[in-house]
Structure 1
C-alpha cells in the first residue's frame, strides 16, 4: 500500500487538476463564461490546446501569470470581454506554440514594443474593439508568420513606419501560398492621417481593408512591395481625387473605394497599372462625370459598380478599354440623358443596371453597341413625372437580350421597341401604349417576340397582366395568361374583352380578383374561357344555385382573405371541369348539403384557416329569406350535416384544418368513395366516434383530438 502511494505522488503534478466554476474542460479544450476569473486558470491539463474565456475580469497579462498556467502546448487562446487593460511585453514567452490569438472587446489602449514577442508561430491575431490609441514601433515584432491581422473598431493613431516590420520578409513572401487578411477598420472613430508608408513591402497579406482615416490623399508609393495583395478595400477615407496610388499592385483583382464622401474626380491614368483587375467598385462617392480614358488599360475588368454617385455626364468613349466588362451598375446616379454611343466599347457586357431619378431621354441608338447583352434593368424614380419614351428599335437590335425590367412613373413604348427576349417586366403607374402594338404587330397575330416565356405588364388602370408563352410546332403562342383585377368588374369589363380579342390561341386563362364589393358582377366574366379563378379580399362571396356563374373550363378555384362566403345547394353544377377548390382565411363560411353536387372531377377540396363554418341542411334561392345564419362565435361547434360532401365521388384529398370547433357525425363523409387523404387537424375535435370514416380507400389521416376511439 505504501509503495503504491509513493508511486502516485511521484508522478502527480504539484497541484490537482481543476476545472474552474462555469467552465467546460476536457484534456484538450477549455471554455469559460462568467466564471469570475481574475487570472488565467492555473490547474488545467498540460495537454490543453485551446482556451476560451468570455465575460470575466482579467485586467492584466504578464510573463509570471502565463508561466504558472503550464499551458505550454496551447495553440488557441481567446479572451473576449474580460476587461483586459494591459499586455506586458513578452507575456507570451511560455505560449510560443500559439497559432491563433483572439483578444476582443476589451480596454487595451496601447500596444508596446515586444507585446507579441516569441509568437513566431502565430498566424491569426484579432484585436477588434479594444480602444487601441497607440501602436509602438515593434508592437508586432516576431510575428513573422502572420496571415490574418484584424484591428477593426479601435482608435488607431498614425501608424509608425515600421509597425509591420516583422511581416516584411520578402524571402518568405516568395514561398507563401496561403491567403492573408489585414483589416484596419476604424470608421466609427475618425483617427488622424495614416502614414501609408507603413504598408510598403508588406507582403504577408492577400487582402487589405483600410477605413476611417482622415487622410485626403494617399502617397503614390504607399503600396509599393505589397506583391501578394489581390483584394484592396478603402472606405471612409475622404479622398478628394483618385490619383495613381496603385504602384506595386499589379496583381490586384478586386478594388473597392467607397463612402469617401468627397471623391469627385478620377485622374486620367490613375488606374492604368491595374491590368489584372476584375472587380472595381467606386460607389457612395461624389463623382460627377466619367471622362474618356478613365478606364483605359483595364482589359481584364469584369464588373464595374458606380452606384450612389452624382454622375450626370458620361463622355463619349468613357468606357474605352473595358472590352471584357460583363456587368455594369449605374444605380442612383444623376443621369438625365442616355445618348447615342454611351456604352460604346462594351462589346462583352451581359448585365446592365441603371437607376436614375431625373432621366428624361433615351436615344434610339444608346444600346446599339451591347452585342452580348442578356439582362437590362432600368429604374426611374416615381418622383420623376417626365414621360420616358422607348422608341422603335431601341432594343430590337440586341439579339442576345433575354430579360428586360423597366420601372418608371410614365412610360411610352413604340411598336417594335422590344427585341426577341425571353422575359419582359414593366412596372409603371401610367403606360401609354397599345398592348397589341408591342406583342402582336403582325396581321395574323403570330407572337412577334419569338423567345418570350414570361411577360409582365401593368396597364389598363387596375389590370395587371402576365403571359407565359411556349412553342408549339415551331409557332410561339401564349400558353398561360394571368389577369389581376383590382376594383369593380363592370368598369373594367370592356377593357378586359378588348385586351383578350388581341390575344388568340392561349391555352390557359388565370384571373385573380381582389377588393370586389359585389360578387354578382363576377358573372359578367362567365363567357371567358377561364382556367383558374382566384378571389381575395372581398366583402361577400356568394355562390347561388343555377346562377349565371358558369365557367365550363375552369379547373381550380381559390377564395381567400374575405369576410363572408356563402355557397348554396347545387351552386357548382355548371363547373364540370373543376379539379381543385381552396377556401381559406375567411371570417364566415356557410355551406349546405348538396353544395358540391356536379363536381364529379374534383380531386382536392380544402377548407382551412377559416374563423368558423356554418352548415345548413338545404339552402336555395327560394329558402334564402327564411334561412337565418347564426352569428359566428369561436365557441360554437359546427356539425357537418349528412350529405355535405355528396357528389364528390372522385375526391382524393379533403383538408378541413383550423376551422374553429368541429363535431364529426357518422354520415359526414358519405359519398367519398375514392378518398385517400383526410386532414382534420386543429379543429377542437373532442371525440371521434366509431364508423365516422366509412370510406375504405383512406390511406392517410391527420387528426388532433382529445379523445380518439
Structure 2
C-alpha cells in the first residue's frame, strides 16, 4: 500500500487516482460498468453481442447473464491483459465459442457456470488454470474431456448432474490442485478406483453431498483435504487411509456413518481436523479407534449415537484443546478417559444433551465443573436422565454429593 505523507504529494496522488478512474469510465462501453481496477462488468445488461471498445487495460470481463449467442474469433483481440472472463448463464451448450476466440496471452480464468453444457466444451484457452463449470447438466465426463487443458489447477463442477467419470478422464491434469464435485450425483459405480491417481498435485477434493456408499480408492498421496460430508457412507474400514498419509483435514459431517473400525485412521499422523458432526455413529469409541492421530487439533463428535468410550481412546490427542461429545448416547464416563496423560492440553469439553446416569460413578465428572484444568461448557444443559431422584435436573442444580449409588 502506498503511504503519502507530504500534502503536495498527496494532492498529486489524488489527481493520479482520479485520472485512472476517469480513463476507466471514459473508455467504458455502454451499457457496461468499468472500475478503477480495470474490471469490466457487462453482465445482466441485456446485450446480444460483445460490446466494442472494451478498454485494452481490462483484466476482467464479465459477459454473463446476457443474450449473447456466440463468441466469435477476433472479437476479443487486443485484450492482452485479460486474466479472467465470465461467460456464465448465457445458455451455451456446445460450440458457441469459436476456435481461437479465447486465445489471449494472459487469460487463465474462465467462468462457464449456469450454462447448458452436456460436455466439457472445446476451444477454451490451453493456458487456462481456473475453470468454473458449476450448474451445468453434464452427466458423463469422457476420457478426453480435459486432454487440452493440462494447465488447469482449479476445477469447480459442483451442482452438475455428473453420474459417471470415465477411466483416465483426469490423467492430463498433472497440475490440478483443487477439485470440487459437491452436490453432483456421483456413486461409487460411477467413479473408477484410480480416477484421481495421476493427479499428483491434487491437494483438496470436495465430494460433499453425493451418493457415495464407500470411501474412494487409489487417491494420490498428495491429498491434504477430502470432504465426504453428506454421503451415505456407513463404515470406515481398518487402514482405510493408507494411500493418503498427508491428509490434514477429513470431513464426514451430515453423513450416514454408523461405524468406525479399529485402526480406521492408521497412517494419518499429519491429520489436524476430523469432523463427524451430525453423522450416525452407533459404535463405541475403543482405545484403537483413533490410534495414531498424534497431530489432531480438532475433533467434532457432536450429534451422533455414541454409547461408550474406552479408557485410552484419546491417548494420542496430545495437542487437542477442544473435545465435543454433545448429543450422543453416553450414560457414564470413566475417569481415565479424560486423564491428563492422554489429553494434556484439553481446555474445553462439551458433554451436554447426553442421557447421563448421575450416580456415584459419574460424581468425579460433576466435581470437575469449575474445578478442572479444562472448562465443562454449559452445565445448565447437562441434564440427568437417572437415577429417578435426580432425573430431569441439570448439573448446575446439583452438587457432587447428589451423585450417589443406592
Give the equivalent residue in structure 2 for 1:312. 234
Give the equivalent residue in structure 2 for 1:541. none
Give the equivalent residue in structure 2 for 1:151. 87
Deviation at 1:242, TM superposition (A): 3.5
Deviation at 1:103, TM superposition (A): 0.9
With over 3 angstroms needed to count, the CA separation of the structure-2 counterparts of 1:327 and 1:100, relative to structure 1, is closer
With over 3 angstroms needed to count, the CA separation of the structure-2 counterparts of 1:29 and 1:145, relative to structure 1, is closer
Q: Secondary structure at the match of 2:349?
A: strand
Deviation at 1:161, TM superposition (A): 6.4
Question: Distance in 2 between the 1:439 and 1:302 partners?
Answer: 39
Partner residue of 1:231 out of 132, 146, 154: 154
With over 3 angstroms needed to count, the CA separation of the structure-2 counterparts of 1:249 and 1:191, relative to structure 1, is same
Deviation at 1:126, TM superposition (A): 0.7
Q: Secondary structure at the match of 2:254?
A: strand
Moved over 6 A (4+): none
Task: Answer yes or no: is 1:210 the counterpart of 2:133.
Answer: yes
Give the equivalent residue in structure 2 for 1:417. 337
Give the equivalent residue in structure 1 for 2:122. 197
Q: Is there any run of 5+ residues in structure 2 with no aligned partner, and where? A: 1-16, 385-390
Partner residue of 1:453 out of 354, 374, 388: 374
Give the equivalent residue in structure 2 for 1:184. 112
Give the equivalent residue in structure 2 for 1:283. 208
Deviation at 1:397, TM superposition (A): 4.1
Question: Distance in 2 between the 1:131 and 1:366 partners?
Answer: 56
Partner residue of 2:144 out of 218, 221, 238: 221
Q: Secondary structure at the match of 1:182?
A: strand
With over 3 angstroms needed to count, the CA separation of the structure-2 counterparts of 1:222 and 1:409, relative to structure 1, is same
Give the length in aligned residue pairs.
Answer: 365
Question: Distance in 2 between the 1:116 and 1:268 partners?
Answer: 49
Task: Answer yes or no: is 1:125 the counterpart of 2:45.
Answer: no
Question: Distance in 2 between the 1:408 and 1:206 partners?
Answer: 44
Give the equivalent residue in structure 2 for 1:427. 352
With over 3 angstroms needed to count, the CA separation of the structure-2 counterparts of 1:167 and 1:130, relative to structure 1, is closer
Per-residue CA distance 1:640-697 (angstroms, 9 max, x = gap) = xxxxxxxxxxxxxxxxxxxxxxxxxxxxxxxxxxxxxxxxxxxxxxxxxxxxxxxxxx
Deviates more, 1:254-263 or 1:313-322: 313-322
Partner residue of 2:319 out of 368, 393, 400: 400
With over 3 angstroms needed to count, the CA separation of the structure-2 counterparts of 1:29 and 1:308, relative to structure 1, is same
Deviation at 1:429, TM superposition (A): 4.3
Higher RCO (C-alpha 8 Å, min separation 6): 2
Q: Secondary structure at the match of 2:266?
A: coil
Deviation at 1:350, TM superposition (A): 1.3
The answer to whether the 8 A contact 2:363-2:403 is kept is no
Give the equivalent residue in structure 1 for 2:183. 259
Larger proportion of strand = 1
TM-score, normalising length from structure 1? 0.46
The answer to whether the 8 A contact 1:411-1:428 is kept is no
The answer to whether the 8 A contact 1:135-1:157 is kept is no
Question: Distance in 2 between the 1:123 and 1:50 partners?
Answer: 12
Question: Distance in 2 between the 1:129 and 1:357 partners?
Answer: 39
Give the equivalent residue in structure 2 for 1:349. 271
Deviation at 1:162, TM superposition (A): 3.9
Aligned counterparts, 1:295-694, within 5 A: 295=219, 297-299=220-222, 301-364=223-286, 365-380=288-303, 388-415=307-334, 416-418=336-338, 419-420=342-343, 421-432=346-357, 437=362, 439=364, 452-456=373-377, 457=379, 458-460=382-384, 464-465=394-395, 483=396, 485=397, 495-496=398-399, 498=401
Question: Distance in 1 between the 2:401 and 2:18 partners?
Answer: 80
Question: Distance in 2 between the 1:129 and 1:344 partners?
Answer: 49
The answer to whether the 8 A contact 2:363-2:400 is kept is no
- CA RMSD of superposed structures (Å): 3.6
Q: Secondary structure at the match of 1:50?
A: helix
With over 3 angstroms needed to count, the CA separation of the structure-2 counterparts of 1:345 and 1:390, relative to structure 1, is same
Per-residue CA distance 1:596-638 (angstroms, 9 max, x = gap) = xxxxxxxxxxxxxxxxxxxxxxxxxxxxxxxxxxxxxxxxxxx
With over 3 angstroms needed to count, the CA separation of the structure-2 counterparts of 1:128 and 1:412, relative to structure 1, is same
Deviates more, 1:209-218 or 1:324-333: 209-218
With over 3 angstroms needed to count, the CA separation of the structure-2 counterparts of 1:118 and 1:412, relative to structure 1, is closer
The answer to whether the 8 A contact 2:171-2:196 is kept is no
Partner residue of 1:138 out of 73, 78, 93: 73
The answer to whether the 8 A contact 1:131-1:154 is kept is yes
